[in-house]
Chains A and B, each alone.
Chain A
Amino acid sequence: MNAVLPLAKANGSDCAPVLKERGQREVFCGLTGIVWLHRKMQDAFFLVVGSRTCAHLLQSAAGVMIFAEPRFATAIMEERDLAGLADANEELDRIVDQLLARRPEIKSLFLVGSCPSEVIKLDLSKAAQRLGAKHAPRVRVLNYSGSGIETTFTEGEDACLASLVPVMPELSADAPANLIIVGSLPDIVEDQFMRLFADLGIDNVASLPERAVADLPGVGPNTRFLLAQPFLGDTAQCLKERGAQRLDGLFPFGIQGTTSWLQAAADEFGVDQDHFDAVLAPYQQRAAKAIAHQRERLEGKSIFFMPDSQLEIPLARFLANELGMVLTEVGTPYLHRTHLTQELAALPAGVQLSEGQDVDKQLDRVRAAQPDLTVCGLGLANPLESEGLSTKWAIELVFSPIHGFDQAGDLAELFARPLRRRDVLRV
């Protein structure tokens, strides 16, 4: 993961000071990604092998939406599993049988590791092989870890997508070039991007993940991919190992980011620049109009990012460059410099970045900075509000459609709303 950083071309401001912190964190673990991944991949089921805590986390993060039985569950380990009274593997097989009997429509099953399963060294990749053989061809069984000792929040999606890469079909060296959008996007956003690529004249575009795991795109030496999310380091690495090449651009947030992201593909696929500009122009104008509504509210306002989803740096870049916000501290749980080279270069000079967390010390800094807006997790938002600090829950940024031109205005609005509310209330 810790690749050496190639220096940025632009103003070199990615040498901005980075405060590295190691202390108590206040972030979700990677299991949380299941909340949106299970909606995206409609033929997949996520079975966490964990404790009651893991089950409770999922339920708390999902907000207990029981309108339909969700496509995830937890195999809760009990005393007898640990005391060796029951063979954990046999128990797991029994649970999986039970599950597949109840949900015959499931085509792919992810066994998701947790802290407890890792600490007791329950080998889920072996279990996945065994169960995969048993339930083939009806069900494909995969595994990854979403544990809190290994993954922070969005890294769970990274681990999940990385587990899909080895089962993507092989494309040969003479296969036509194809493009893969990597990262789970809301369907509406994915469709918008597909239309844009078609207009640009790039076909043969697929997504990882697709809406069904069964439709995984092929990968080979002529495969190029764009990361739609900044937190997909391992997935990118796995794709590279299969011969694919990453196209480097800003992440597709705001006009600047989306343009740069599409440009990376256009350059690679030889799209004529005039055509590119002509296709994008109406989108850019529309987005500019939408953003302008929010700009007057956000311009000059200061913002503090607590580390949460790894989206912080691209979002900070958008807010600073397109909405005129003032960045105080931009925290990220993990700074993936290789993928963020351009992002870091596009940040205003001298921004304070921080990586990792010591939550109490960081809260001291929030209080000292008195930002107009603090982006933070659900556990911190109300306490900060009660201290008079406006907040934006970070998790909403992961659950809402925020990528691309047509969401740029909505994205800005997510940040403007808490401020508007503060101005409106007279209580």
Chain B
Amino acid sequence: MQLSVWTYEGPPHVGAMRVATAMEGIHYLLHSPQGDTYADLLFTMIERRNKRPPVTYTTFQARDLGKDTSELFQTAALDVVERFAPDAMLVGASCTAELIQDDPAGLIEKMGLPIPVIPLELPSYQRKEHWGAAETFYQIVRTLSDKNRRPSDRHGRRPLVNLLGPTALGFRHRDDIIEISGLLGKMGIDVNVTAPLGACAADIAKLGEADFNIVLYPETGDLAADYLKREFGQPAVRTVPIGVGATKDFVREVAELAGVDPEPMLKEGLSRLSWWSRSIDSNYLTGKRVFIFGDGTHAVAAARVASEELGFKVVGLGCYNREYARDVRAAAKLYGVEPLITDDHLAVEKAIEDAQVELVLGTQMERHIAKRFGIGCAVISSPVHVQDFPARYSPHMGFEGANVIFDEWVHPLVMGLEEHLLTMFRDDFEFNDHAGASHLGPGHSAPVKEEVPAAPANDTEAVWSEDAQRELKKIPFFVRGKAKRNTETFASEQGVATIELATLYEAKAHYAR
């Protein structure tokens, strides 16, 4: 058993729902108790979808157990075929149904339904949402792709690709695929199929016609891409085009496979981020301490943008999905930080607190943590909430995505001049660090905790003189804790018993980055 308050991922059948809901004409019959229908609201409320997810829950009750749960399941299957007439049906069990072992796959096979049926085995007690989505998408592709389709003769036509991985409830998937399809179009490449998002059974059937695949979201698209490689020999591009640098790498890789010239797409100025970041106003971004947490792919991508394109200092990097821990570990090494692989949000909270950060890039969960600490935060990965499905066009991928990222990440920070003024006029009654960044609005006050203790916690620690203590309070709140700790460490290393004003500044010089 695992004690959990908030979870980053739902059960695997919610992943299957993300795939089914993203597609057209696919229905999911889920053997489950009534309460599991809560999952509908993720789509109708959080993503504001205007249709019910195409899911039928059998909603068996205690009195059905041991008697007719399997009959219930079969009746529901017939209802689905009659009412929704889907092109294909997914069938599976939720955590409870898995325990009563009705064997949906076997039951459905016996029924000989007139449509393709795809049984899903999603072990609820081992796996989670992303894996469930990846497995479901893979099973759909395996069952519905037409094995006889192959790319047509390459001469006299534009190269053709599949975009794999976008689902319902995905972070910015809706806009990313518009952005990337546009970018490919400008390179002279056409999209054969985007899936699962927006695809129908006929689209899946023709996947084999593409020259190669692009995996935009490895968490949900990898398994299908591996299969397509095996079955159709289609190579896959796995560079995720988030940020200017990664988008350029992506362009090169795609161009190479497509046999087109990448140069027009690599020239300067396709994204404003490069200039915005070099313009002197952005000087103050240098070395901002940023903590990054999300799904493995988005976290690694964000770390590169933060470090190379905004000049931040990555002081924490982690992911909640173990399946992608390897990539995160490798990246963490690059930035010299300890990778944090956990799905315990309390561990993440602790890490954020310890790292003394100025900006958090995370999920919905980290947004709440950051809010509590009064630190700026931008969301970079699912799980996300209703406000992360903006009405406006806001991709994170491609060159426009880089622009969006610049705005979204810089906005929560205390602005350059504002930061200086904060340091210069600490005693202004309304313009002080406890008021927080002006553009964050009133609700966002800085934490008032961590005041300087007059007496040491134990007798090995140095005592703060009054002068030094007053000076410490003048240091902006987001670095104050660090300054305090550094000074104390420095004092104890030097064998200083009382921290004077000078000790503080000597420590500052000692630790200067």
**Which residues of A are at the interface with B, using a C-beta cutoff of 8 A?**
24-32, 49, 51-57, 59-61, 64-67, 69-70, 72-79, 81-82, 86, 88, 91-92, 94-95, 98-99, 115-116, 118-120, 147-150, 152, 360, 377-383, 385-386
Chain A residues with Cβ under 8 A from B96's Cβ? 51, 53, 115-116, 119, 148-149
A193: min CB distance to chain B, Å: 31
Contact with A along B88-117 (1 / 0, CB 8 A): 000000111001100000000000000000
Q: Are B125 and A79 in contact (CB under 8 A)?
A: yes
Known: A95-B3, A148-B36, A381-B44. A52 touches B124 (CB 8 A): yes
| Cβ-defined contact, A73 with B4, below 8 A | yes
CB atoms of A99 and B35 under 8 A apart: no
B152 at the interface (CB under 8 A from A): no
User: Is A25 a contact partner of B37 (Cβ separation < 8 A)?
Assistant: yes
Given contacts A24-B58, A24-B59, 20 further A-B contacts (CB under 8 A): A24-B56, A25-B34, A27-B34, A27-B35, A29-B36, A52-B7, A53-B11, A53-B14, A53-B94, A56-B7, A59-B7, A64-B365, A66-B365, A75-B4, A77-B125, A78-B126, A148-B36, A149-B62, A378-B41, A382-B48
Rank and list the top 8 A-B pairs by shortest CB-CB distance, nearest first.
A29-B35, A379-B40, A148-B35, A386-B50, A148-B33, A66-B368, A51-B95, A115-B96
CB-CB nearest in chain A for B83 = A360
Which residue on B lies nearest to A379, using beta carbons? Answer: B40
Whether A149 contacts B61 in the complex (CB less than 8 A), given A56-B7, A378-B41, A386-B51, comes out as: yes
B50's closest neighbor in chain A, by CB? A386
How far is it, in angstroms, between the C-alpha of A355 and the C-alpha of B123 when the chains are bound?
34
**Is there an interface contact between A76 and B35, defined as CB atoms closer than 8 Å?**
no
B191 within 8 A of A: no
Known: A66-B6, A383-B44. Is A60-B99 also a contact (CB below 8 A)? no
Contacts of A72 in B (CB 8 A): 5
Known: A115-B96, A147-B33, A382-B45. A57 touches B38 (CB 8 A): yes
Question: When chains A and B are docked, how far (Å) is the Cα of A150 from the Cα of B48?
Answer: 31
A interface, over-half SS = helix
Given A64-B364, A66-B369, A149-B61, A55-B38 contact (CB < 8 Å) = no
**B454: CB under 8 A from chain A?**
no
Residue B287 lies at the interface, judged by CB distance under 8 Å to chain A: no
Interface residue B2 (Cβ < 8 Å from any Cβ of A): yes
Question: Which residue of chain A has its CB nearest to the CB of B53?
Answer: A379
Residues on B with C-beta less than 8 A from A60 are: 38-39, 41-42
Interface centre among A59, A88, A91, A152 (most CB of B within 10 A): A59
Please give, as numbers and ranges, the residues of chain B lying within 8 Å of A59 by CB-CB distance: 6-7
CB pair A379–B41 under 8 Å, yes or no, is: yes
| Residues B368 and A88 in contact, CB atoms below 8 Å apart | no
- A375 to B238 Cα, complex, angstroms: 46
* A78, B100: Cα distance in complex, Å: 16
Closest to B48 in A: A382
Q: A149-B61, A379-B40, A386-B50 are in contact. Are A55 and B7 (CB under 8 A)?
A: yes
A291 to B13, CA, bound (A): 45
Chain A residues closer than 8 Å to B36, beta-carbon distance? 29, 53, 57, 148
How far apart are the CA atoms of A74 and B11 in the complex, in Å? 13
CB of B65 within 8 A of CB of A119, answer yes
Which residue of chain B has the shortest Cβ distance to A149 in the bound complex?
Answer: B62
Cβ-defined contact, A26 with B95, below 8 A: no
